[in-house]
Amino acid sequence: MNMMSHPQVMFPKTLDGPVVDLRFEAIPAEQVQVLLTLLSDAQAVMHNDSERASARLSQAIELLQPATSVPPRKSRRNGGLAGWQIRRLDSFIGQHLQNTIRTPQLAAVLNLSVSHFSHAFKQALGVAPLTYVARRRIQSARQVMLVSSTSLTEIAFGHGFCDQSHFCRTFRREMGLSPKMWRRMFGQDGDSSA
């Protein structure tokens, strides 16, 4: 996969705030192209169709956000998972999205009992482990849908869903739209039967 490295750039955190140093991580060239398309489209329709411009900007922001975010240390309650544990789990989940992932596997990654792990995970992230995995799968699938015309069936299997129906139910629960409708609104057109 082609990767583009971006130099250090100065941005204000807010429009009124001071300029802050930010360093972009390497971004796949396909994702950069999608970002440019989304931003160009938003700019072109900004004055005539603010709803469309807003949708395109939201997509661009979502693409730039990291796949996960570790809650700040002060927002975690005692007994949750440490930041390094969450990062280790995120890495494991990211590497195994296409496979079945069960709670005992996740607990084993941290060498914790299933009971202790489940409790600590929910305390740290606010959701059950398998709900978090499903959200990661949907987030990854949405990124694929933004940059390719791969069929929904292939996307479902490639992200660990047992079939397209399971993918569609989970997607609708998380996004409020069917994958087909979401793809029509935001992604690449293709064989998107759902």
Mind listing the pLDDT tens digit for each residue in 76-108? 455 689 999 999 999 999 999 999 999 999 999
Selection from 163, 170, 171, 165 nearest residue 145 by Cα: 171
Q: What's the pLDDT band for 17 if we cut at 50, 70, 90?
A: low
Domains within the chain, CATH numbers bracketed: 3-64 (no CATH), 70-194 (1.10.10.60)
Residue 12 main-chain phi, psi, to 5 deg: -75, 145
Contacts of 133 (CB under 8 A, 6+ apart): 93, 101, 106, 160
Q: What's the pLDDT band for 38 if we cut at 50, 70, 90?
A: confident
